[in-house]
Amino acid sequence: MRYVISALAAGALALANGALAPTPSLANGGHGHGKPSNGFSRHGPWNTKLPRDVRLAPNSQAIVDNIKYDKDNNWQTWAINTDTYSTPIYYVDRRTPRKRWTFSDCLNLPHLAPVIADSLAAVPTPPDMITSIGTDSAVTIYQPSTDTYWDFWRAEKDANGNWSACWGGKIERYSRNPGIFDNPLGATATGLPMGAFTIRIDELRRGYIDHALNIVTVRTRANCNSWPATRNDGFVEGEDIPCEGQRFRLDPTFDIRTLTSPAARTIARAMQEYGLIMTDKGGAVVTYAEDPRLEMARNGGVDPYIELFDPDDLIPDGSEKYFVLSEIPVERLQALPIDYGKPR
């Protein structure tokens, strides 16, 4: 993702010589202790349940029809990004060495260097940290002991072990934050933290997701960002094109019991209860889940999504992420009004 031009974020996770805390969520304690599993304030847009009778946008169906068009004309699937095009989430402790990163300015916007300087000044950086697969080279870091969070885009380590990033940001007092970077910080085109919406492996195992998810589509509306987005990189004119930051939900009358995959049922329930927020544009219709490589390093290289997405082994191994949401009809999404939930 970029500051002005976004791409899909890529995903990677790696062991960091003991620097990664074993916590399954960004908040110490997670769901079992009453805190949202994404770690943000329970009163923010991500962690607030939608009323069943919520008011829809007057052109809801037309907007959803455009998302379906994007799906039908770009890979014909609603995929989940796992090992690529998601984000790595590192949980680091006080022992993790802090490094001063530099601003790489890959977009030739030198005036932004002072804006991101504080976010780069002292980043707890695991010695063996890797970034996401793909051109975005994204990474997410959370330090529970200081309640501080970082997202970076196009993060890179040079031959001398020095790190740089083209964009990103830092959030202090993370657990009190609603899940929004100060504009113009943040690695997504909307200024929305990837840790807020990414599906965790642990959430699928427990069978419940307690926060809104994200959705990315191919065409987003030009010059339109809906709260909680702080900015956008939309490029298509038209009131019926989805707006970045706009909130959606899966029709609550859709019977999730009809879905074959247990993970799909868990995800669909979250889509009905908490909804989805349009976080970016990309090359396909997708939703993000955490990269499995940290888990794979612990369990002998087995991808946990194979069993979670397809426990009956109906799909060839490695293809599960492209089919797990195939039974959820995109046309049953519902668009909420622009700026839904924005504090007055």
The model's pLDDT over 304-341, given as tens digits with 9 standing for 90+, comes to 999 999 999 999 999 999 999 999 999 999 999 999 99
The confidence score (pLDDT) of residue 137 equals 87
Beta-carbon contacts of 193 under 8 Å, excluding residues fewer than 6 positions away, are 40, 140, 149, 151, 171, 179, 180, 181, 186
Rounded to the nearest 5°, which phi and psi values hold at 167?
A: -160, 170
C-alpha distances in angstroms, 103 versus 20, 113, 163, 231? 25, 6, 9, 21
The strand pairing partners of 334, in sequence order, are 249
The strand pairing partners of 168, in sequence order, are 152
Contact (CB, 8 A) for 47 and 39:
no
**CA neighbor of 200 nearest in space, from 308, 286, 297, 100:** 308
For the chain, how are helix, strand and coil distributed in percent, rounded to 5? Answer: 20, 20, 60
Low-confidence ranges of the chain (pLDDT < 50): 1-25, 27-33
> What are the pLDDT digits (tens) for 252-300?
999 999 999 999 999 999 999 999 999 999 999 999 999 888 788 889 9
Residue with tokens 């298509």: 236
Q: Does residue 343 have a cis peptide bond before it, meaning omega lies within 30 degrees of 0? A: no
Structure tokens that stand for 142 in this block: 């959370």
The confidence score (pLDDT) of residue 295 equals 85
Contact (CB, 8 A) for 247 and 341:
yes
pTM higher than the cut 0.75:
yes
| Distance between CA atoms of residues 227 and 183, nearest Å | 12
**CA neighbor of 247 nearest in space, from 28, 39, 51:** 51
For the chain, the straight-line distance linking the first and the last C-alpha, in angstroms and rounded, comes to: 30
**CA neighbor of 193 nearest in space, from 184, 176, 203, 181:** 181
Contact (CB, 8 A) for 185 and 170:
yes
Rounded to the nearest 5°, which phi and psi values hold at 314?
A: -90, -15
The confidence score (pLDDT) of residue 259 equals 98
Query: What secondary structure letter does DSSP report for 32?
Result: G
The confidence score (pLDDT) of residue 34 equals 66
CB atoms near residue 307 (< 10 Å): 16
Structure tokens that stand for 86 in this block: 């998601």
Rounded to the nearest 5°, which phi and psi values hold at 114?
A: -65, -25
Structure tokens that stand for 268 in this block: 């669909």
Buried b (16+ CB within 10 A) or exposed e, 104-123: bbbeeeeebeebbeebbeeb
**CA neighbor of 278 nearest in space, from 10, 88, 96, 66:** 66
| Distance between CA atoms of residues 125 and 300, nearest Å | 25
